[in-house]
Amino acid sequence: QQQVKQSPQSLIVQKGGISIINCAYENTAFDYFPWYQQFPGKGPALLIAIRPDVSEKKEGRFTISFNKSAKQFSLHIMDSQPGDSATYFCAAGWGKLQFGAGTQVVVTP
Amino acid sequence: DAGITQSPRYKITETGRQVTLMCHQTWSHSYMFWYRQDLGHGLRLIYYSAAADITDKGEVPDGYVVSRSKTENFPLTLESATRSQTSVYFCATRDYNEQFFGPGTRLTVL
């Protein structure tokens, strides 16, 4: 069973717009919540991560919002650029990671 | 400074054959992982290793075997390949919490 559920499966956003991807987890023991970015033909690479003692973390145009009580976290990509077109995976865990199914983001010019 | 290398990058094999996917790291990270990536499933953990000679099952270990005699190498063997094992396989290492992924091996089982 998938312990981390990610939505949407795909999204299309115009250049300059905001992309929002949501994830929900089940295991309250999870203490590390990363987002990975993957380009076609490449391995995933860490984009940004958060721990449950923080409700928000921002790095450049990327922000994680974390809601511990709801067991949900989300990735916001501000001012989306064509170079952000990729597949994004959320994950959760405490050593081993459980990954979401992925969201394919397409940013149109 | 390659980090993680995987070989081969592409492999086509037939049902019932044994296949070994290689993973090599140039760091000395203790933890290494094998994942498979399938559309709609994200990345699923097959096996992981905490150190040389220490391995453990992940979420989908059936049909796979691993070994780790040296810290830098973590081969994954499909003892008798099946069509359901057609996938993209990623090796990863971990430094503190961050996992670093290799470029992947695309395996097709006919």
What's the rounded Cα separation, in Å, for the pair B42 and A76? Answer: 20
DSSP class of A79? S
Residue whose pair of structure tokens reads 């220490």 in the numeric block:
B54
* Domain-wise residue ranges, chain A: 4-108
Give A 46-105 residues with CB within 8 A of chain B: 46, 49, 89, 91, 95-102
- Domain of residue B75 covers 4-109
> Token digits for B2?
């390659």
B104/A43 CB distance under 8 A: yes
Best mutation target, A2, A33, A99, A104, to test chain B (most B CBs within 10 A):
A99
- What is the model's pLDDT at position A30? 92
Instruction: Give CA–CA dist A77/A20, Å, rounded.
Output: 6
- Count of domains forming chain B: 1
Inter-chain contact B43–A89, Cβ cutoff 8 Å? Answer: yes
Full pLDDT tens readout for chain A, 109 residues: 568 999 999 999 999 999 999 999 999 999 999 999 999 999 999 999 999 999 999 999 999 999 999 999 999 999 999 999 999 999 999 878 999 999 999 999 9
Residue A107 C-alpha, separation from nearest chain B C-alpha, in angstroms: 21
The string of pLDDT tens digits covering residues B5-46 is 999 999 999 999 999 999 999 999 999 999 999 988 889 999
Task: Name the CATH code of domain A4-108 (choices 3.10.20.30, 2.60.40.10, 3.40.640.10, 1.20.58.100).
Answer: 2.60.40.10
- Rounded CA gap, B3 and A46, in Å? 15
A45 in contact with B, Cβ within 8 Å: yes
Where residue B8 sits, what CATH number does that domain have?
A: 2.60.40.10
How does pLDDT run across B41-51, given as a tens digit for each residue? 889 999 999 99
Are A92 and A33 in contact by the 8 Å Cβ rule? The answer is yes
